[in-house]
Chain A
């Protein structure tokens, strides 16, 4: 199995949390780390995007977003009918799983670096695009003819919430600057990326450790869902990437994107748009279960899936 040592920082954080260490990362540092990661990922995508004809990527983008929208539409009935959860909770959790995690994606990129595999850098554009339909679908599923939706507030939250804003902003700056223009920023944003990701994962471990206990209260169904759902989504992503003719690295990253569940943008948006949903359920599942599952088990499996489909079909 491929193993990326940066995930050990997550373990360090979880253990500190479980053993009640006094380790604490101040809120303002956490904010700074997340701003760094979002900008760095955006810049990287923008630089890669500048090497391509943007028009050529539109059709691929549309297909990737449409297939991505299948994820919440599958998750919702599963949660509602098999899990017997309320409409609001099912819709909110479905939105979290349709939406994506930048940190999971980043761990995937570092693994590709270690494996010396290339990937289509413009995939980062889809990271931004995939976030939007998932949240919309979540709200529509939750409301479905009952109660009014604060659409204005929700759209503002989606587009100007820091995640999408910084990712899109980074993309634009990277695109305008190109790989030559961005050189002076390389040392900060690209060379230090892995170290900052390690610090961020330490904090994620601390937060996740407090969520694992919450998840236990909601039983085996949700825990099972949090493991099976990403595997289903990753399979969808692997086929989609392969069909679109992406490289092994690109196919793997698309699978990782589909498999990841949001725990930064989606919780804030859902709290506003679907207030009656219990946030402990969705965050417990996505952060307490799916995130660790993805970085330890999922990502190596998705890489294996991408390699296998390319070896057999290519």
Chain B
């Protein structure tokens, strides 16, 4: 079986956005996603995750360039201004 080349889109953002972003991502055509809790510091200050309004999440979506592009464009337009949001892609090879 040959490995299939795809993009892994990683989104670091605020925990309060979880439900809203998942709805957007699935509506844009993603097949699935993985979420993990995250902590750290960035331009929105220290995010300790100590209580619900102060935590971050990491959302990972695997898809082709077109899907990742659509998600990035939508999130950039709707959430970049007011929320902590960092998105990046990396090349991955799906093995199964």
Contacts and interface: CB of A to CB of B under 8 A. Distances in A.
B28 interface: no
Contacts of A296: none
A280 interface: yes
Nearest to B50: A207
A30 B51 contact: yes
Contacts, number: 44
Interface residues of B, number: 20
A279 B83 CA distance: 10
A268 B53 contact: yes
Contacts of A27: 37, 49-50, 55
A264 B46 contact: no
Contacts of B54: 207, 267, 283
B48 A268 contact: no
What secondary structure prevails in chain A residues at the interface with B?
A: helix
Contact of B14 (A30, A207, A214, A271): A271
B53 to A, nearest CB: 4
Given A275-B83, A276-B82, A268 B49 contact: no
B90 interface: no
Interface residues of A, number: 21
What secondary structure prevails in chain B residues at the interface with A?
A: mixed
B53 A283 contact: yes
A165 B54 CA distance: 20
B66 interface: no
Nearest to B37: A27
Interface in A242-293: 263-264, 267-268, 271-272, 275-276, 279-280, 283
Nearest to A268: B53
A210 interface: yes
B86 interface: no
A268 B16 CA distance: 6
A153 interface: yes
22 contacts: A27-B37, A27-B50, A27-B55, A30-B50, A30-B51, A207-B48, A207-B50, A210-B48, A264-B52, A267-B52, A267-B53, A267-B54, A268-B16, A268-B52, A271-B16, A271-B53, A272-B17, A275-B79, A275-B83, A280-B45, A283-B53, A283-B54
